[in-house]
Amino acid sequence: MSKTEYTVEDFMLDPEFKKWVLAPDEESSAFWEGFLEKHPEKYENMKLARRALINLSRNVGEISDSRIEGIWTEINKFINEPEKEQAEGKTISISSESTLRSFADRQQHIAYRSGHQFYRVAGILFLVFSLGILFNLLREHPEEEAVEIPLVYEEYSVPPGVKSTLRLQDGSRVILNSGSSLRYVKNFEADKRELFLIGEAYFEVAKDSLRPFVVKTGPVSTKALGTSFNITAYKNEPLEVSLLTGKVNVGLKFEKPQEVILMPGEGLNVVIDRQVHNKHRIKEEKVLAWTRKTILFEQTPVEEAIRVLENWYGVQIEVLNRPERGVLLSGKFVDQTLEGVLEGLSYSARFRFKLDEDRVTVKFDKST
């Protein structure tokens, strides 16, 4: 195809043109300037192609070090599997006793072959008996081992402005909101899955009826078997447990310990220092908005809104002329910049704002 017939796309796909735009040298400059001179009608197309090339962008994910290790652990498990099986196959004799027993079994076996009914029955009985002992020996073994494993804690922290999804060893999935941290015993203990949360997280719990899944947030612990729920437990704010599916049991370690059972669609609001709690209906859209890049304010007090925005965007917000009568903010913002959100709120709440890198000033109009 002659370059004179080039569309914008063709220019972009021409390696020579791409080179001229992105890393020009004398030769390419001379060529394309000459070309433009001869074919001025191509100016528009070339201009658009250049602009599109320069702005061609992609959204690349950054994988965290902990995920790299997590995936490697899984791969490694597989690599080491066959060898482990072989090893187990060889080391059957647990003690001298079992060796002697198996020798005795062999003796019985010979007797069995000799055909005497008595030896046959005795042999079978003895075999059953010794298998029972062997089984018991084998069964006790892993229990002893479990006790010896030292508890290694794993901790995930997400700074303000960032969110993170993680998959736990048991298959459960957690989405951690900005400014939150989650701590738990690596690979969990044998009889429970216990996690400590500060901040906000959404849990999709993998079913495991033998190991209840317990999230501890100070004196409040939320216990689930296989469900999905959301917990908000930021410092100095009321704690909120919201249940989407399944059933959870929330234990409150107050002076008078209490237990509250939540059913799907119910939420529990706990004010820890006043030791009070109340149950209410939740809206899934609102609870899970943060996992869908959505900020949702519904009659939200300014203080709370500010905290949400600071955490969401990783900025500091200073409020001037804070109105004495509390202002409530409403609005829904999907995948918006901070500027977009503030702009949207500023009309109804009557404030002006200034953005300066990660410092933000919000100034309410005097009249409100």
Query: Which residues of the shown chain bind another protein in the complex (CB under 8 A)?
Result: 8-10, 12-13, 15, 18, 21-23, 47-48, 50-64, 67-68, 71-72, 74-75, 78-79, 162-165, 167, 173, 175, 291-293
- CB nearer to another protein: pick between 75 and 138: 75
Of 270 and 287, which CB lies nearer to another protein in the complex structure? 287
CA distances to 206, 350, 362, 363 from 323, rounded to whole Å, are: 46, 10, 12, 10
To another protein, the closest distance from the beta carbon of 30 in angstroms equals: 19
Nearer to another protein, 23 or 87 (CB): 23
In whole angstroms, how close is the CB of 179 to another protein at the nearest point?
A: 14
The rounded distance, in Å, linking the Cα atoms of 355 and 362 is: 9
CA nearest neighbour of 159 among 254, 92, 64, 79: 64
Residue with Cβ nearer another protein (5 or 62): 62
Closest distance of CB 250 from another protein, Å = 25
| Encoded tokens for 224 | 């689930």
Helix (H, G, I), strand (E, B) or coil at 12: helix
Round to whole Å and give the CA distance between 184 and 178. 18
SS3 state of residue 256: coil
CB-nearer residue toward another protein: 112 or 156 = 156
Q: How far is the CB of 123 from another protein (least distance, A)?
A: 44
- Which H/E stretch holds residue 328? strand 328-334
Considering the complex, what minimum distance in angstroms separates the CB of residue 312 from another protein?
A: 11
Q: Which residues contact 54 (CB under 8 A, 6 or more apart)?
A: 21, 22
